[in-house]
């Protein structure tokens, strides 16, 4: 059992702010308290917004190079506290500290992403320069941005928002999930020494803090990552003062394994595309469609692979899969497994949840459940995977698209023309062929349908923190 004895503070107007009321952060591996964090009141939010609004006047006037330099210094600050951040990350999130995409990797990715995002430039664009007119399109910052982050990638997804928002001249209020506030609070500490007061504010709190942010009349932009259900509430609330919104929401991604795929080759990457981060990844494979010709061989290889993966406390260096992050999610995944069991489908692996402390669920693979079962239709967001047999490519494309979600997907096999043709027909923001979850600062990432609005990353994602402004000069 590990308890963090230090105190955590919010960052408002460059100051460390503590509160009498505190929120307990639990370690999902044993349900003991890791630390306590402040609970912001509406007054705290008002102070942060006022500070951000005031700081905007000078921050937005700096050159982009000056702002980029601060973001790079912030990245160095994250890197310099790597050990502490990675440990806190595992204690609050449950992610294995040393796994291939473990806590160290996420902290490193957060620092690197900052550096890469700081290089983007939204240069003015001359739209017309004729005898009659000179017309130039500029990008101006939106103002105060509210950045709302989920618990599954608390460091990296915060950075996806923080770096472009600051680069383009906005000031920010960052709100982590109440389940995983620690790494974000440390980011606030780091920011205090780098950014002018009011530019970078971090608030933690209970369930009402998010709605206060989305409803605040002086916040001009919301960038939200979380579930589709919450995303709809965010958009509704943001409409009151027509805040700009970027919404990165849920997914129910399909992977389609073609008949010519070699099961021995694709099982390992496909396993991790499903179960990495205990399957709590928006772009995890959540429905795995396998051609009937190789279905039995594939399923057997997948189950064999799964059986050798150590599940346990993320602080143990041998662990590759940690617990589910929180109790609500744990209960939900258990419910989906129970539903599958009751329906009589075959459980190929796992399925029995031990009654012990910690939110541990064994890797559970369901053998060919019906298309309309809950485990196929709903986003589980935990380690239960339906593997589904198909025989016809047009049919499987139709089944993959038969969802309100449209985040990502993947196709696996040797016939690249067929894979490309399937990829083109999938109604999602990203499709990978023979790889998974490859993301980079220069690649636009966003969902179709009810998986979101707008994109993050790339110049297009950076532009989401700006308004366009066109200045037209009449020459004669
Ligand atoms: P969630 O929607 O419950 O919470 C996300 C954040 O919103 C948290 O900080 C939460 O405190 C806050 N929040 C909750 N209610 C709010 C409200 N009414 N108004 C404003 N803020 C509110 O999601 P979660 O359980 O933290 O995350 C899991 C979900 O996020 C999954 O559906 C997953 O697919 C999705 N996700 C999407 C992406 C993506 O990029 N598309 C990335 C990661 C996770």
Tokens representing 293 are 């010709």
Residue 476 has a pLDDT of: 83
Tokens representing 292 are 């009937």
The single residue of 47, 72, 114, 282 carrying the catalytic annotation is 282
* Percentages of the chain per state (helix, strand, coil), in multiples of 5: 40, 20, 40
Nearest atom of ligand 1 to the alpha carbon of 176: 9
Query: Residue 152 Cα, ligand 1 centroid: separation in angstroms?
Result: 9
Residue 17 has a pLDDT of: 98
Nearest atom of ligand 1 to the alpha carbon of 228: 32
> Which residue bears the tokens 């469609």?
289
Where residue 115 falls (left for φ over 0; alpha for ψ -120 to 50; beta otherwise) is alpha
Residues 137 and 146: their CA atoms lie apart, in Å, by 26
> Which residue bears the tokens 């041998």?
318
DSSP-based three-state secondary structure for 246: strand
Verify whether ligand 1 is closer than 6 Å to residue 178 (CB atom). yes
Query: Residue 315 Cα, ligand 1 centroid: separation in angstroms?
Result: 25
Q: Are 278 and 321 in contact (CB under 8 A)?
A: yes
Query: Residue 241 Cα, ligand 1 centroid: separation in angstroms?
Result: 22
Residues 455 and 448: their CA atoms lie apart, in Å, by 10
Query: Residue 121 Cα, ligand 1 centroid: separation in angstroms?
Result: 29
**DSSP state, 196?**
P
378 part of the active site? no
Residue 173 has a pLDDT of: 99
282 part of the active site? yes
Residue 1 has a pLDDT of: 59
CA torsion angle for 398, 402, 408, 414 (degrees, to 10)?
A: -20
* Helical residues (DSSP H) of 291-440, grouped into ranges: 295-307, 327-343, 374-377, 393-401, 416-425
Q: Specify the residue with its C-alpha closest to ligand 1, atom 18.
A: 211
Nearest atom of ligand 1 to the alpha carbon of 227: 32
Residues 148 and 168: their CA atoms lie apart, in Å, by 18
Q: Is the pTM of this model over 0.75?
A: yes
Nearest atom of ligand 1 to the alpha carbon of 213: 20
Verify whether ligand 1 is closer than 6 Å to residue 407 (CB atom). yes
Q: Specify the residue with its C-alpha closest to ligand 1, atom 12.
A: 210
Q: Which domains are assigned to the chain?
A: 10-249+450-473 (3.40.605.10), 254-441 (3.40.309.10)
Query: Residue 230 Cα, ligand 1 centroid: separation in angstroms?
Result: 6
Give the CA count within 13 Å in the CB-facing half-sphere of 283.
Answer: 22
Q: Please list, in sequence order, all residues whose beta carbon lies within 8 angstroms of the beta carbon of residue 382, skipping any fewer than 6 positions away.
A: 278, 279, 280, 324, 329, 330, 332, 333, 336, 361
DSSP-based three-state secondary structure for 339: helix
Cβ-in-10-Å burial (0-12, 13-18, 19+) of 359 comes to buried
What angle, rounded to 10 degrees, do the helices at 64-80 and 82-93 form? 70
Verify whether ligand 1 is closer than 6 Å to residue 452 (CB atom). yes
Query: Residue 414 Cα, ligand 1 centroid: separation in angstroms?
Result: 37
Q: What is the pLDDT along the chain (476 residues), one digit of tens a residue?
A: 566 778 999 999 999 999 999 999 999 999 999 999 999 999 999 999 999 999 999 999 999 999 999 999 999 999 999 999 999 999 999 999 989 899 999 999 999 999 999 999 999 999 999 999 999 999 999 999 999 999 999 999 999 999 999 999 999 999 999 999 999 999 999 999 999 999 999 999 999 999 999 999 999 999 999 999 999 999 999 999 999 999 999 999 999 999 999 999 999 999 999 999 999 999 999 999 999 999 999 999 999 999 999 999 999 999 999 999 999 999 999 999 999 999 999 999 999 999 999 999 999 999 999 999 999 999 999 999 999 999 999 999 999 999 999 999 999 999 999 999 999 999 999 999 999 999 999 999 999 999 999 999 999 999 999 999 999 999 98
Tokens representing 116 are 């890469």
Residue 338 has a pLDDT of: 97
Phi, psi of 239 (to 5 degrees): -65, -25
The single residue of 72, 248, 379, 456 carrying the catalytic annotation is 248
Verify whether ligand 1 is closer than 6 Å to residue 225 (CB atom). yes
Q: Are 249 and 447 in contact (CB under 8 A)?
A: yes
Phi, psi of 111 (to 5 degrees): -65, -45
Verify whether ligand 1 is closer than 6 Å to residue 251 (CB atom). yes
Rg (CA), the chain: 23
Residues 53 and 61: their CA atoms lie apart, in Å, by 13
Residues 17 and 94: their CA atoms lie apart, in Å, by 27
């Amino acid at each position: 059992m590990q308890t963090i004895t230090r105190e955590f503070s919010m960052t408002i107007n460059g100051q460390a702010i503590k509160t009498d009321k505190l929120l307990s952060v639990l370690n999902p591996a044993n349900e003991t308290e890791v630390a306590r964090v402040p609970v912001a009141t509406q007054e705290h939010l008002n102070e942060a917004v006022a500070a951000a609004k005031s700081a905007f006047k000078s921050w937005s006037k700096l050159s982009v190079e000056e702002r980029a330099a601060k973001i790079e210094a912030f990245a160095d600050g994250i890197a310099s506290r790597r050990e502490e951040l990675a440990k806190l990350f595992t204690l609050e999130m449950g992610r294995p500290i040393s796994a291939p995409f473990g806590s160290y990797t996420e902290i490193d990715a957060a620092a690197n992403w900052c550096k890469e995002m700081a290089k983007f430039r939204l240069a003015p664009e001359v739209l017309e320069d004729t005898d009659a007119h000179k017309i130039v399109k500029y990008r101006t910052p939106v103002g105060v941005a509210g950045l709302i982050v989920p618990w599954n990638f608390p460091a990296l997804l915060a950075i996806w928002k923080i770096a472009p928002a600051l680069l383009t001249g906005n000031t920010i209020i960052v709100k982590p999930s109440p389940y995983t506030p620690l790494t974000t609070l440390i980011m606030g500490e780091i920011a205090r020494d780098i950014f002018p007061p009011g530019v970078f504010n971090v608030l933690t709190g209970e369930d009402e803090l998010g709605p206060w942010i989305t409803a605040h009349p002086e916040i001009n932009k919301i960038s939200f990552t979380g579930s589709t259900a919450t995303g709809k509430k965010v958009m509704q609330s943001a409409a009151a003062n027509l805040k700009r919104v970027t919404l990165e929401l849920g997914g129910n991604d399909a992977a389609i394994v073609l008949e010519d795929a070699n099961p021995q080759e694709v099982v390992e990457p496909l396993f991790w595309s499903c179960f990495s981060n205990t399957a709590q990844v928006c772009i995890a494979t959540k429905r795995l469609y396998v051609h009937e010709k190789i279905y039995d061989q594939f399923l057997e290889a997948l189950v064999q692979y799964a059986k050798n993966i150590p599940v346990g406390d993320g602080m143990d260096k041998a662990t590759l899969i940690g617990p589910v992050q929180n109790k609500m999610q744990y209960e939900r995944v258990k419910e989906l497994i129970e539903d599958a069991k009751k329906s009589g489908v075959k459980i190929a692996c796992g399925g029995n949840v031990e009654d012990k402390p910690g939110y541990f669920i064994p890797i559970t693979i369901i053998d060919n459940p019906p298309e309309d079962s809950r485990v196929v239709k709903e986003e589980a967001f935990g380690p239960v995977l339906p593997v589904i047999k198909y025989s016809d490519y047009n049919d499987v494309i139709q089944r993959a698209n038969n969802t309100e979600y449209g985040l990502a997907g993947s196709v696996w096999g040797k016939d690249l023309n067929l894979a490309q043709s399937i990829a083109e027909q999938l109604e999602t923001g990203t499709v990978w062929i023979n790889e998974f979850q490859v993301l980079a600062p220069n690649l636009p990432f966003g969902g179709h349908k009810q998986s979101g609005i707008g994109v993050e990353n790339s110049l297009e994602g950076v532009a989401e923190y700006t308004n366009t402004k066109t200045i037209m000069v009449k020459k004669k």
